């Protein structure tokens, strides 16, 4: 090997060795620098209360334990009890009869005046009978019942003779009671069977129909019956609110629909709710239909048909204003053609009413007056009693009927 080649090999080896030594030195300096930086970092903070070194380099004493403070006494939370509405106690039917009799006896209607005028005469002549007949006709007794009563009285007083006014009063009472007919069944069919008894209340606007439904609910509650109201008068805005108010006073719920809803649908839902709730009686207030509007009257028939898909209708009560006279009788005939009326409720039979309407409406429809209203009081509705009615007009004070 020539000398030049040898020197090149040795020189290359020396250069490689120097490069390796330099790389090792650089790596070592970097390692020493990293170690120095780690030594200069502050120690990690110790958690509070942890044992460690004190500022002087010694071991710090553990912190003194905190004393537990006694818990403050807590007062019991006062929870306000929900306010329970106070329900009214309706007046029993028996005491209503006695009070209503007093109201009737104190009234000054045409029939009462005519009867008492007849009894006050010392001598009953033809002119007296004519005056008496005119009085009966103006009291809405009707031509047929008036003729019947006058002929019966003339016959009996002529045949039997009249010793005094007490005897005449007794004869008059007998004939009047017979005319009003105490044999009619005036009981309300409100007995529950497999389904609740369903009572439809019908009538024109202004007769006090919705109020009568509310008062009838009170009569039934006083007899310990479980009642539910159906507000099927959806055309009068305040009807459902009015009915709901009546029911809430005695704890009776009301089923109602939106204003303008289908009355038959509301009545159907009321009966369904009554069946599910196992109530005794469902009272349904219908719209106050004018008897001259055929479409509305047809709708009333629809209400009855729809209700009977759930339960039979036990009663259809027609509410009549006793002061309307012949117009009331016209209404009664039309309603009887649409639904099978089973009873009459006479409202406003106070001092301004003509008591003869009781007899005439029974004759026209062949159904009894079952309830009578004499005032604005919440319990001024009572079962009608023929003898109590006549005794009040004559003010006989019969102990048998004053109870």
DSSP calls for 294-315: HHHHHHHHHHHHHHTTTS-EEE
Tell me: the pLDDT tens digits for 290-339? Answer: 656 667 778 888 999 999 999 999 999 999 988 877 777 888 888 888 88
* Phi-psi domain of 251 (left: phi exceeds 0; alpha: psi -120 through 50; beta: other): left
State residue 398's pLDDT score: 42
Predicted confidence (pLDDT) at residue 228 exceeds the cutoff of 50? yes
Average pLDDT of 180-205?
A: 93
Tell me: the pLDDT tens digits for 269-278? Answer: 999 999 999 9
As a whole number of angstroms, the distance between CA 368 and CA 183 comes to: 10
Query: Of the segments 48-62, 117-131, 218-232, 323-337, which one has the largest average pLDDT value?
Result: 218-232
As a whole number of angstroms, the distance between CA 400 and CA 394 comes to: 15
For residue 282, what are the β-bridge partners?
198, 228
**Structure confidence at residue 21 as a pLDDT band (50, 70, 90):** low
> Does 373 or 117 have the greater pLDDT score?
373
Binding residues: 203-210, 285-289, 347-350
Q: What are the residue ranges spanned by the domains of the chain?
A: 197-341
Tell me: the pLDDT tens digits for 250-259? Answer: 999 999 988 8
As a whole number of angstroms, the distance between CA 244 and CA 99 comes to: 27
Average pLDDT of 272-289?
A: 92
- Among residues 287, 280, 274, 345, the alpha carbon closest in space to that of 316 is found at 345
**Structure confidence at residue 70 as a pLDDT band (50, 70, 90):** low
Residues 290, 205 contacting (CB under 8 angstroms): yes
Binding residues for GTP: 203-210, 285-289, 347-350
DSSP 352: T
Mean model confidence pLDDT for the chain? 78
Q: Give the CATH number of domain 197-341; options: 3.40.140.10, 2.60.120.260, 3.20.20.70, 3.40.50.300.
A: 3.40.50.300
């Amino acid at each position: 090997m020539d000398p030049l080649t040898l020197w090149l090999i040795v020189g290359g080896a020396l250069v490689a060795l120097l490069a390796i030594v330099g790389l090792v030195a650089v790596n070592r300096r970097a390692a020493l620098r990293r170690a120095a930086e780690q030594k200069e970092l502050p120690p990690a903070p110790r958690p509070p209360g942890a044992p460690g070194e004190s500022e002087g380099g010694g071991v710090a004493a553990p912190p003194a334990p905190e004393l537990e403070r006694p818990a403050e006494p807590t007062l019991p939370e006062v929870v306000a009890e929900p306010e329970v509405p106070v329900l009214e106690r309706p007046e029993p039917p028996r005491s209503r009869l006695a009070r209503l009799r007093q109201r009737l006896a104190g009234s000054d209607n045409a029939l009462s005046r005519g009867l008492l005028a007849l009894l006050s005469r010392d001598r009953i002549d033809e002119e007296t009978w004519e005056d008496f007949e005119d009085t009966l006709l103006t009291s809405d007794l009707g031509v047929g019942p008036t003729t019947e009563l006058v002929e019966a009285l003339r016959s009996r007083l002529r045949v039997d003779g009249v010793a005094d006014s007490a005897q005449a009063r007794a004869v008059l009472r007998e004939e009047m009671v017979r005319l009003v007919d105490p044999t009619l069944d005036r009981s309300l069919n409100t007995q529950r069977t497999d389904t609740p008894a369903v009572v439809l209340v019908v009538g024109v606007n202004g007769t006090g129909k919705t109020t009568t439904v509310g008062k009838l609910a009170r009569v039934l509650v006083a007899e310990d019956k479980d009642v539910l109201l159906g507000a099927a008068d959806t055309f009068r805005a305040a009807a459902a609110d009015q009915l709901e108010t009546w029911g809430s006073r005695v704890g009776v719920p009301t089923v109602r629909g939106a204003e303008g809803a289908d009355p038959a649908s509301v009545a159907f839902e009321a009966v369904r709710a009554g069946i599910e709730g196992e109530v005794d009686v469902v009272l349904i207030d219908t719209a106050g239909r004018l008897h001259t509007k055929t479409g509305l009257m047809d709708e009333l028939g629809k209400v009855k048909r729809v209700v009977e898909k759930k339960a039979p209708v036990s009663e259809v009560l027609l509410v009549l204003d006793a002061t309307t006279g012949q117009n009331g009788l016209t209404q009664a005939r039309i309603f009887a053609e649409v639904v099978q009326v089973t009873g009459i409720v006479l409202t406003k039979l106070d001092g301004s009413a003509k008591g003869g309407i009781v007899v005439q409406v029974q004759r026209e429809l062949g159904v009894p007056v079952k309830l009578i209203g004499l005032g604005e009081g919440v319990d001024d509705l009572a079962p009608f009693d023929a003898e109590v009615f006549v005794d009040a007009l004559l003010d006989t004070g019969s102990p048998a009927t004053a109870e």
